[in-house]
Each structure stands twice: as structure tokens, then as C-alpha cells.
Chains A and B, each alone.
Chain A
Amino acid sequence: MRDITMKHTDAVIIGFGWTGAIMAKELTEAGLKVVALERGPNRDTYPEGAYPSSIDELTHNSRSELFQRLAKTTLSIRYTANDEAVPYRQLAAFLPGTGVGGAGLHWSGCHWRITPEELRLRSRYEERYGKNFIPEDITIQDWGVTYEELEPHFTFAEKVFGTSGQAYKVNGEIVGAGNPFDADRSTPFPLPPMKNTYSATLFGKAAAEVGYHPFDIPSANASQAYTNPYGCQMGPCTFCGFCSGYACYNYSKASPNVNILPALRQVPHFELRAECDVVQILTDSTGKKATGVLYVDAAGNRVTQPADLVILGTFAYNNAYMLLLSKIGTPYDPSTGEGVIGKNFAYQNENSIATFFDDKTYTNPFIGAGGNGVAVDDFNSDHFDHGPLGFVGGAPFWVNQAGTKAIGGGPLPDGTPEWGSGWKKAVKENFTHVVSMNAHGTNMSNRANFLDLDPTYKDYLGRPLLRLTFDWHDNDYKMAAFTVDKMKKIAEAMNPKAMKVSVKKPGQHFDMTHYQTTHMGGGVIMGDNPKTSAVNRYLQSWDVSNLFVVGSSAFPQGLGYNPTGTVAALTYWSAKAIRETYLKNPGPLVQA
């Protein structure tokens, strides 16, 4: 174990998931020498994704093959600031990745654009429902960037990802049966929509019958063989059902590894170093300028990588973690509401209904694709009148049949025993006759939910663990009850023999033992005021101008949609500002 200082580089990127890969491509195109550091191992379609070992559920999902190594580092969790947080040896509610590709290698592939209304959520609600509508404990705010500004980047990201979908409106013209709530697009999707499973077809038909507006989920699972603008190739999805938690064996699911890294491998001034765990962003004596990063490599060496520009692109909440460790920015204090690092951590609020059919109706839930399905957007964003409802946010509903597997199993009717012959009988009767649907709801940032450093527990490098303080609040229970009630109308119209409704009840705590989603955000939020945000509208740190913090950490509140499409567009937006403005004249892009 030695102290090593590497040769200076123009830019260093912390984390090699989607944001790191996009930034690496953009910055090397601008001529910069780029070093990307990834804490986990190298991963690729081969060998990690090689068929048939790639579709081993025990290895991948049960034993966390592609997920964060909790024996090395984890996080501690508590409900409120008055509780003592405890470190988790197993995660279940969310599953952060590690390794080259990050969560972008094991994601599902639902590829959305944030709605224009959500980008100015606070202003929108105050304008439509009055200044006093938003409850006091809800700390939502505008993003500081508009849909029109992001639109070209949504478009380009979809081309890079090879996204399959049906557009509704292109340049003001209605072009097809897409999502009628969608904002205007400049181009159709690069690939036509995927085929639908039978379960999604049943859902879509019933949704239309009750007056909702079903459409195909935009999916970064390729509906056809595809070559993206970087020359990277995808194979068509086979609906094998092994997306979330797995490296796609067929080059069908977009990932940094499939869609960007091959092009970067052709770039001589790019270097990717795996198994390099960054412990600190280094700053000069003023604390206003980053000078590089310090990391620990696989051999345990402490390595300094000097750089002119630092890009922080780790998983969601880890961006706040790295800034807290590096003492950059003011940590959030929930008692005063002041400080910004760790503020506005937000998640998602997912509720579901399982419908059970007779033994003549085969839904074959083992078939599937992570980004595939039929959705309705009638009760998402601000697509409906919140005035009489008294809550902020909403949920898209969908049947997103991603492939039910043997160990994870599928839903069973209420009253089924947890084990034994009664359980076996129910599995046998229901496994191929069930349709599950989700209300994939928003979670509004709340002043009581935040991230900071744990005062007690440390990880394998002696770093304090990240501490997550999180629980559900009134707004969440109200939103859950309302949206599930609306989704239930679809379920009823499908005419099942039985139904199982799972919805958060008032007072119910955050449950770490059941999977919900891995869509967390906030902690390093964007905005137009350094008192209430950590990065400006270009994702540039207000405190250290040669540091850009990219990812869902910038989201001021949680979305109904999956975050990746918005994360990718924001990263291209940030990269454009770096390339076109920052590099010509390094310094703050927005005056505080």
C-alpha cells in the first residue's frame, strides 16, 4: 500500500454509470483527456452477460451479483432525526449497483422524459392552486431548467439508448397513438414500440374502457436491431425477462457498456480505471477549486489523480455522500432548514394491484422485458385537478411485465398461507394467470427526509457511512390512496376472479424489506439560488466551479416516471454548457 500521484488529466469522472459514460463521451469529443474512476469491477455483456449463466436468478438477484457490495460499504437508515440509524447488511427496498455500467447495467429500461409541469412544480402548483396549497413540510422547488431547453437532449439520449416507443406529438402535429399528455417532441422515437404482452394488452383495453388514455411505455429495450449515433450496436429484445438485476445477454437493453463504452474504447485520450474507490474530492486552500480526487485502488494504494475538471457522477445519493466526505458545500440542517448538501432526498411511492384470472386465461408472466408495457398518464404529474384533493404529485399506472422468475415468484391472492401445501397449491393455481399493475407514484421532498454522515458506523476504508433519514408523510398516504383507487377501476374492468390491493396506509413506515424501486433522487439539488440548491441549472457546484455533479441527485423532488431518461438529458445539457461555455472561460456559469 503506497501513496501514488498520477499524471495530471484534463477531467476526472467519479463513477462510470450512465452519467459518467455520457460525460466521458462528451468531454473526449471536446478534446479533453479524461480519466473515469469506477469503484466496482469491469463488467461487459461478455462474460458477465453471457448466456446462459447471465440468467441465473440465484446468482444475480438473490445473491446480488451486480449490486453494491454491502460487506465493504453500506448505509444506515432511520425513520426520523430522533431515531438511531442502523447499518444495513441486506438491502431490499432499493438495489444500488456497482461496477462498470453502474445501475445502468442492471436497470430495466423504462425511458421517460420528465413532464414540463414537473420541471417548475412549485410555481405550477402555486399558480394553479394558490400560494397556500403546498403543505409547509413539503420542500419542493423548480428545477431552473425548462422542457424546451432539455428537449434536444431528450431526443439525443433516446437515439443513443435506441429507445422504442410511439410518439404522440412531433413538432405540434399529432402523429400517432402515443401518450396524449406528452409534451411536444422534435422527432419520433428512434425505434418503433415493442410488441406487447397479453397482460399489457388486457390492461390497455380495460383502461380505455374506463375512459383513460393507454399508450406503450417508451422502452430502452430495442424492438429491432439498432446502431446508435456512436456506431454502437444493439440486438432486438427477445422478451427473456431478465432485465432488472441482470446484464442483458442479447445487447438489447441500453447500458453504458453496450451503448457508449465501445465508442470510448476507440478514443486514445480516454482511460477507464475499475476498482478505484474515490474517498475525497480534493480542493485547494481556498476550498473553492477542486484540484483532483483521492482514491483507493484494488491493491489498497492511496492514489491522487490531479485534474482541472471534476465530474461527480455516482449513484443518486452517493453524490451527496461524496460532497459531505469532501466537505464541499454546506450540509443540510433539518432543524433550521438551512444548508443544501443532503437536502431534499426523495424516493418514489409505488403501490400495486394484482389481478387473478381463471385457469383458462394464460398471462404467462415469465415472458417479459424491463421497459415494456402499457401505461396511462391520466393521474400523473399535474394532468388532473389537484384542487379538491389536497396533495401534491401523482402516479402513472402500468402493466410492466418484466418477467416473473422462479425464486422471486409472483403475487398470490389475499389469505394464501406463507408456506406449506396451501402455498404450493396457490402458486400452482395462480402463477400463469396473474396480471400485476403498478401506480408508480411520486414522492415529494419533505423537510424531514435527508442525507448526512453517520456519527457511529464506518465502512471498510474507515469512512463514516451515509445516513438516510426517511419515512412516508401525509402527502404520500393521500397520493397513494387516490391513485390506487383510480387504478382499481382498470383492474375491475378487467373482470378478474380476485384482486389483491397493496397500498400504503396512513402511519405505515417505510419498509426496507420489500422491493419498491431503485429511483432515489435529491441531496445535491439544482436550482437558481445557492441558498436553496447545491448546483446551478447547469449542474455546476455553486461552491466549487470546476466541479459538476450529475445524476438524479439534482432532482429537487421525486418523479412518477423512472428517472433515467431525465438523468441522461440533464447530463447532456450539463455537458453542452461545459463544452460551449465553461471550457472557453472556466468559472461560474451562473453568478450567485
Chain B
Amino acid sequence: MKLRHLLTGFALALSLPAFAHGANAQTTNGSADAATIAQGQYLARAGDCAACHTAPGGKPFAGGLPIQTPFGKVFTSNITPDADTGIGNWSEQDFARLMRTGVLPSGGAVLPAMPYPSYARVSDADMKALYAYFHQGVQPVAQQNTPSTIPLLGIGRYPLRAWGWIFGPGAGVAETSTTSADIGGSDAPSVARGEYLVEGLGHCGACHTTRGIGMQETALTGTSPNYLAGGGAVDGWVAPSLRGDNATGLGRWREDDIVALLKTGRNQHTAIFGGMNDVVADSMQFMSDNDLHSIAKYLKSLPAQHADAASYTYDDTQSKALFAGDASARGAQIYVDRCAACHRTDGQGYARTFPALAGNPVLQTNDPTSIIHIVLSGSRLPGIATAPSSLVMGPYAKVLNDQEIADVVTFIQTSWGNKGSTVTADQVKAMRNTATPVSP
């Protein structure tokens, strides 16, 4: 019964023509029905498969996106149903094994950039739907995979299999998979459903959880206080904590704030940036409201990593000083000249339009990577269906020198009650060459 509810939920969420004209369960040549394929499409979006497997300007799911690793470049693979160059010849078992263990039909293993430790959570029914979608819902594209530039991979992928044995979620999880009882229904939001989506296809931990010595995520489930407690720098962006921490996490947000951010990329407090832009544009905006509320409920259920850390409290010292014409604090004059038109002298910004800096969780830590990056590069909100304005903050790399950026970032990190660290010109200099200006 649960499964039927699930399918109904997806049908409503997707509004594909097949559903709009009533239940369509007919099968051809023993293949999957349209509802299952549509469910697979929805799940592929939940997993944001396109983020890696569709290269910019490339055919959908034909791979070829380069991923830079410390050891060399790898290219994502063709996962269209093309028999020769894609996964057209894979059985459902082959597909499920790869998704859960990273092991290829040939016996080798894929790089752990493929988040199979998370996908191990995917239920049998959802795995079946994903398989159906990638075999019947996606156009086959004949495109050879590009060999990686990592020398070790040329010899074989045994080290990667070993990585999977050591850092994967464990044999038990992989073999039994999740039962439908664990995944929650999609007819009403639930923590269980949110847990299933976040820990599974959503693979949120890939960025929001720190990685260990073997690049493995240090936690894969909410039972660990490390899980989603904020990640390390990826591409010059630091994904913040999604746990209940008051100052640095989601402690001050309501469920609706999280839903709004995931659905539209912006909410009353702030806006997305960095790697989260694609997550919302390509994945989260397509999730049903029930699933978004489930995700939010689950995130709100995660206790603070550091329950004893100080809460954020607004401090009006700087806003009063600026209003009185006193810009003597370090970086204050630059802030007034360059930032305050949008973010205001009180640091509150304008809801949904220009993010608040006062109390922003990104500005309460010792790692200023993201804020330096935004000042250098600027930032562009993705335009999406329910919030089409692609609001842009322009880059300041050519406007401000290293010291000026260090000063203004320090002002932002330490004003209005923010508890972030001060910043040096060297920290800005270290990022200047890799921070590319936001694209027109």
C-alpha cells in the first residue's frame, strides 16, 4: 500500500502528460510503465544525476564533465541507454550494484566522486524506477567515455574497490537496501521521508559533511554529530552546517525557510551561492512540496553539533555608528561605499532580494573562504521557474585590492553580532587567481 501511495504522490508532483490524462500503466514489450519511468525521472532529479553526467552544452546524461581531483582529471561517464557507449546493456542488477557499491559490471570500481555510499540508501522500488528511466526515459547517445588522466586508473580500479570496502556504508546496508517501510510516504511530509531523501539520493553530505583522510565523508547518517555539520572547501566554497546549531547552522530557521530556499534559491534570510546554485536549479526546484517539507523536517530534527556554542544575537553598535556617520571601524567605509546600497548599513538586506549579512550562518565561522570568494567573484542566483530573477552581485576583484577586501570582509564578519574570524590580505591573495568573475 505504501508503494502505491508513493507512486500517486509522484504522479501528482510531476504532472507529466501521461498522468494528466489519467493512470497509464500500459507496458510495451515487457518494459516499465510510464508511471515508473516518470518516477525514475523524478528520482534522477532528486539525485541530481545531471549535475555530473550532463556536461555543459552536452547531450543529457552523455557524461564528459571533467572533475578535477588531487591526482588528475576524471570525466563523468555516459549513462544513457546507448548499448555500445552507455549503460544500455546493463541489467537491473548491474545498475543497482553500481549505485550501491560503486562496482562496475566489469568488476572495476568507479571513483567515489560518484556518491554511491549515499545511493546505497535507495529502496528497491526506487532503484527499479531509476533503472527504468535511464533505459526507457532517456535518449540514447553514442558518445565514448573520456579516459581519466589519473595514471593509477589506467592499471585498474582495484584501489577504488578497496576504497569502497573501507569507506562505504557497509555490506549490510548495500545488500539488503532500504525497505519501503523506511522511506516514508510521500503523501504527507515526514522526518522519515526526509531522512531517506537527504541521506540517500540527495547526497547532501557530499558537500555538507567533512571528509576524512581517504576523501570519505566522515558520517553518512544523522546519528553522527558530524553528519551535515558543514563541509570543507570544494571549488572555493564551504558548504555550511545543516544541523540545529543556532549561530552556524539552521537553528534559527523555520521549516518554511528551508523549503523556500530549496524551492526558489532565496528566502527571508539569505540566498544560495556556489555549488548550491546548481543543486536548486537542476534538482531541488523540481521536488514536490511534500518532499521539500520532509527534507526540512528531517534537517530540523538534527540536533546542534555543538549545543553549548553561543547563540547569535543582533548587535546594533555598528549600524548606529554608520547611521551617525562614523565609518572609522576597519573596512566600514568600504562597506558603506560598496555594499550598503543592497545589504544596508544595518546588515539586514532585503528579504528574498539582497541577503542579510547580520546573523548569516556563513559569517559565524573561522573559515572565510566563501565570503572572500563571493566578494572576488560576485554571485548569481539561478533564475528558476517559481523565482525567475537571476539576481547578480557583481565581482569586486577589479574594484578592491587584497587589503581592501580583507578589511571589508573583516567588517562583515565581525559586525552586527557576527562572530566570524578576521581576515588577512594573504587569505584574499591566495584565492584571487582561482576566483573567476560571475558569468554574464
Q: Which residues of A contact B (CB under 8 A)?
A: 44-47, 50-52, 225, 227, 230-236, 238, 240, 249-251, 258, 262-263, 265-266
Contacts and interface: CB of A to CB of B under 8 A. Distances in A.
A235 B354 contact: yes
Contact of B341 (A46, A51, A266): A51
Contacts of A230: 388
B20 interface: no
B388 A232 contact: yes
B388 A251 contact: no
Given A50-B394, A231-B388, A235-B354, 17 more contacts: A44-B440, A51-B394, A52-B338, A52-B399, A231-B389, A233-B353, A233-B387, A234-B353, A238-B341, A240-B341, A250-B341, A251-B389, A258-B389, A262-B388, A262-B390, A266-B385, A266-B388
Interface in B368-414: 378, 380, 383-392, 394-395, 399
B392 to A, nearest CB: 4
A262 B389 CA distance: 5
B130 to A, nearest CB: 25
Q: Is the interface of B mostly helix, strand, loop or mixed?
A: loop
A47 B352 contact: no
A32 to B, nearest CB: 19
Interface of B: 338, 341-342, 350-354, 378, 380, 383-392, 394-395, 399, 438, 440
A238 B387 CA distance: 23
A50 B342 CA distance: 13
Contacts of A225: 350-354
A54 to B, nearest CB: 9
A235 B350 contact: yes
Contacts of B338: 51-52
A46 B388 contact: no
17 contacts: A50-B395, A51-B394, A225-B352, A231-B389, A232-B389, A233-B353, A235-B353, A235-B354, A240-B341, A249-B341, A251-B391, A258-B389, A262-B388, A262-B390, A265-B390, A266-B383, A266-B384
Contacts of A45: 392
A263 B440 contact: no
Contacts of B385: 266
A226 to B, nearest CB: 8
Contacts of B395: 50
Contact of B394 (A47, A235, A236): A47
Nearest to B340: A238
Nearest to B440: A47
Top 9 A-B residue pairs of the complex, sorted by shortest distance between their CB atoms? A50-B394, A46-B392, A262-B388, A233-B389, A225-B350, A225-B353, A262-B389, A238-B341, A263-B388
Nearest to A234: B353
Contacts of A250: 341-342
B436 to A, nearest CB: 14
Contacts of B350: 225, 235-236
Given A235-B342, A250-B341, A265 B391 contact: no
B320 to A, nearest CB: 20
Nearest to A231: B388
A229 to B, nearest CB: 12
Contacts of B440: 44, 46-47
B383 A262 contact: yes
A50 B379 CA distance: 12
Contacts of A249: 341, 394
A230 B438 CA distance: 25
Given A231-B387, A235-B342, A250-B342, A46 B353 contact: no
B394 A46 contact: yes
Contacts of B394: 46-47, 50-51, 249
B384 to A, nearest CB: 8
Of A45, A50, A225, most B-chain CB atoms within 10 Å: A50
A249 to B, nearest CB: 8
Nearest to B398: A53
Contact of A265 (B387, B388, B438): B388
Contact of A233 (B384, B391, B438): B391
Q: Which of B338, B385, B386, B390 has the most CB of A within 10 A?
A: B390
Contacts of B383: 262, 265-266
A83 B301 CA distance: 82
A249 B393 CA distance: 9
A47 B354 CA distance: 17
B437 to A, nearest CB: 9
A46 B389 contact: no
Nearest to B383: A262
B352 A227 contact: yes
A240 B342 CA distance: 12
Contacts of A258: 389
A235 B351 CA distance: 10
Q: Could you say which of B353, B383, B390, B440 has the most chain A C-beta atoms within 10 Å of its C-beta?
A: B353
A373 to B, nearest CB: 21
